[in-house]
């Protein structure tokens, strides 16, 4: 049947706002995968979708065909004794939650096959953070990945070329044709990869605020509702939490600096950053409730906290690191293994006041400037560069107090941060109200709960 379709006619249909059928979308995705759809045609199709949008059925069809463009993980033969569940974040500055969340949920009986990305733009990547641990192999084959998930309860790895390959080509085209911001295409891009993991349930963390991709709250709502609808329509129950990204999540940014904060979090949860702890537990609770491991969120929160406070989650994390090639004693001796910088120094506040605003996106971009992140996917990164002990909104600082500790390669980098960082942090003589952490929770129905 596919020989009856002409790419230019399907592009014309979408350009004119006409709904595409499932076979037509399947034909286009096949063309993306096998190269029969040219870059020019793919760019034109992306722009047509960007301008005219897609119906829910079209989004479901596009997601499914992109998911099936490569391998999909099947878990039946492993005879797991619990649900397969995952979380995905749209990315933020200092968002290190996956590193604690996966072992917490695994400690509570879930199986978490977390396939994570690298950082691009102003946000960091989970895989980059983990690769600051010496020996860590984020690219095992599927067989080892699945057996690790069964044995340990979780494994965090990078996307392989065989997982939703149509998305890789499509995203690269969108990146250079100003069509990245399409809600329809973002939905299909995220879910084609996540649903290829064979999930029983999915929780999404949609960031909004000045440090988020969806800086506009309305866009965050539209994306959350689209993902919840498409994923649930595809057979995977999904909840989307819209969460704040107007300040760094936790108190560190970078790669090794964030891993260090995660280790402290797992070992000493009572001393963890409050917002980081609350969001981690809330996401874990939704994963447990949605996957059927707990009946309600109250019990799920309690179970998640017990897994963390008992040290069980820390033990699972240590085992995952070791099984993927990292040191066996990372939790006991982090300083022995994580890269340390020659220059570690305080960036001081030029004045006194309450922290009222932080330009989080610019903080992320400052890290890219120092090679802790990348501007294109092939850029190497410096895992040791970063910030720790970053101030929070609402906190009082005196002139000369520390705004953040800079972990630098040399004095020039320190000088750059001493000049840049204070200009990104606004002080006020009056204390602001604390920022809401979770704005809204959306499911596939029209119902939503407000926090």
310 is catalytic: no
Q: Which of 59, 64, 118, 193 is catalytic?
A: 193
pLDDT for the residue numbered 433: 83
Where in the chain are all domains bearing CATH 1.20.970.10?
2-53
The residues, ordered by sequence, that sit 6+ positions from 443 with a Cβ below 8 Å of its Cβ are: 228, 232, 237, 238, 239, 240
Tell me the per-residue pLDDT of 52-92, one tens digit each, with 9 for 90 and over: 999 999 999 999 999 999 999 999 999 999 999 999 998 88
Q: Which of 87, 275, 303, 337 is catalytic?
A: 87
Q: What is d(CA 154, CA 141) in angstroms, rounded to the nearest whole number?
A: 15
- Single out the catalytic residue among 65, 88, 96, 319: 88
How many contiguous H segments (helices) and E segments (strands) does the chain have? 17, 14
Q: Which of 61, 86, 200, 205 is catalytic?
A: 86
Superfamily of domain 339-428 in CATH is Pyrimidine nucleoside phosphorylase-like, C-terminal domain (3.90.1170.30)
* 268's tokens: 């000493």
**Is 81 known to be catalytic?**
no
Q: Model-level pTM?
A: 0.93
193 noted as active-site residue: yes
Q: Is 371 a catalytic residue?
A: no
Catalytic residue among 90, 107, 123, 126: 126
pLDDT tens, per residue, the chain with 451 residues:
445 799 999 999 999 999 999 999 999 999 999 999 999 999 999 999 999 999 999 999 999 999 999 999 999 999 999 999 999 998 889 999 999 999 999 999 999 999 887 665 666 688 889 999 999 999 999 999 999 999 999 999 987 778 889 998 998 899 889 898 899 999 999 999 999 999 999 999 999 999 888 888 999 999 999 999 999 999 999 999 999 999 999 999 999 999 999 999 999 999 999 999 999 999 999 999 999 999 999 999 999 999 999 999 999 999 999 999 999 999 999 999 999 999 999 999 999 999 999 999 999 999 998 988 776 667 788 999 999 999 999 999 999 999 999 999 999 999 999 999 999 999 999 998 888 999 999 998 534 443 3
Is-catalytic flag, 89?
yes
Catalytic residue (one of 189, 197, 291, 366)? 189
Q: Which part of the chain has CATH 3.90.1170.30?
A: 339-428
Given 59, 194, 275, 361, the catalytic residue: 194
Measured at the alpha carbon of residue 402, what is the angle toward residues 397 and 406, in degrees to the nearest 5?
A: 150
Three-state secondary-structure class, residue 359: coil
Query: Is residue 126 annotated as part of the catalytic site, yes or no?
Result: yes
Every domain range in the chain assigned CATH 3.40.1030.10: 76-333+440-450
Architecture of domain 2-53: Up-down Bundle (1.20)
Question: Which residue out of 63, 69, 89, 98 is catalytically annotated?
Answer: 89
User: First-to-last CA distance in the chain?
Assistant: 50
Q: DSSP labels for 137-186?
A: -S---HHHHHHHHHHHSEEEEEPPTTSSHHHHHHHHHHHTTT-TT-HHHH
Contacts of 71 by beta carbon, 8 Å cutoff, 6+ apart = 142, 160, 162, 163, 196
CATH of the domain spanning 76-333+440-450: 3.40.1030.10
| 87 in catalytic set | yes
Strand order across the beta sheet in which 238-244 lies: 85-89, 201-208, 238-244, 438-442, 448-450
């Amino acid at each position: 049947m596919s020989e009856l379709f002409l790419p230019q006619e399907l592009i014309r249909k979408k350009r004119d706002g006409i709904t595409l059928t499932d076979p037509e979308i399947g034909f286009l995705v096949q063309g993306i995968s096998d190269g029969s759809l040219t870059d020019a045609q793919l760019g034109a199709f992306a722009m047509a979708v960007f301008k005219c949008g897609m119906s829910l059925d079209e989004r479901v069809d596009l997601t499914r065909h992109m998911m099936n463009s490569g391998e999909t993980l099947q878990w039946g033969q492993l005879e797991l004794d619990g649900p397969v569940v995952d979380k995905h974040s749209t990315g933020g500055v200092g968002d290190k939650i996956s590193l604690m969340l996966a072992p917490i949920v695994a400690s509570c009986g879930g199986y978490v096959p977390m396939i994570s990305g690298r950082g691009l733009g102003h946000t960091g990547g989970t895989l980059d953070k983990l690769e600051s641990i010496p020996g860590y192999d984020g690219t095992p084959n599927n067989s080892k990945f699945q057996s690790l998930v069964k044995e340990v309860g979780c494994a965090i790895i990078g996307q392989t070329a065989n997982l939703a390959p149509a998305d890789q080509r499509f995203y690269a085209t969108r990146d250079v044709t100003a069509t990245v911001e399409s809600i329809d295409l973002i939905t299909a891009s995220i879910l084609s990869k996540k649903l290829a993991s064979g999930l029983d349930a999915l929780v999404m963390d949609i960031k909004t605020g000045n440090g988020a991709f969806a800086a506009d709250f309305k866009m965050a709502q539209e994306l959350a509702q689209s993902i919840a609808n498409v994923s649930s329509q595809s057979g995977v129950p999904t909840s989307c939490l819209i969460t704040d990204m107007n300040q760094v999540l936790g108190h560190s940014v970078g790669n090794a600096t964030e891993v260090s904060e995660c280790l402290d979090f797992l070992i000493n949860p009572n001393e963890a950053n409050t917002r980081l702890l609350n969001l981690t537990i809330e996401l874990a609770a939704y994963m447990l409730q949605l996957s059927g491991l707990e009946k309600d969120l109250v019990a799920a929160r309690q179970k998640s906290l017990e897994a963390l406070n008992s040290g069980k989650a820390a033990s699972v994390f240590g085992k995952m690191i070791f099984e993927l090639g990292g040191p066996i004693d990372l939790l006991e001796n982090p300083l022995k293994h994580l890269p340390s910088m020659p220059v570690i120094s305080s960036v001081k506040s030029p004045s006194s006041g309450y922290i009222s605003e932080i330009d989080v996106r610019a903080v992320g971009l400052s890290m890219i400037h120092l090679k802790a992140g990348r501007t294109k996917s092939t850029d190497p990164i410096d895992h040791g560069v970063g910030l720790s002990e970053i101030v929070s909104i609402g906190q009082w600082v005196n002139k000369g107090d520390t705004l953040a500790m800079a972990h630098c390669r040399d004095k020039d980098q320190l000088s750059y941060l001493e000049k840049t960082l204070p200009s990104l942090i606004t002080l006020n003589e009056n204390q602001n109200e604390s920022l809401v952490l979770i704005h809204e929770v959306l499911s596939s129905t029209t119902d939503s709960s407000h926090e």
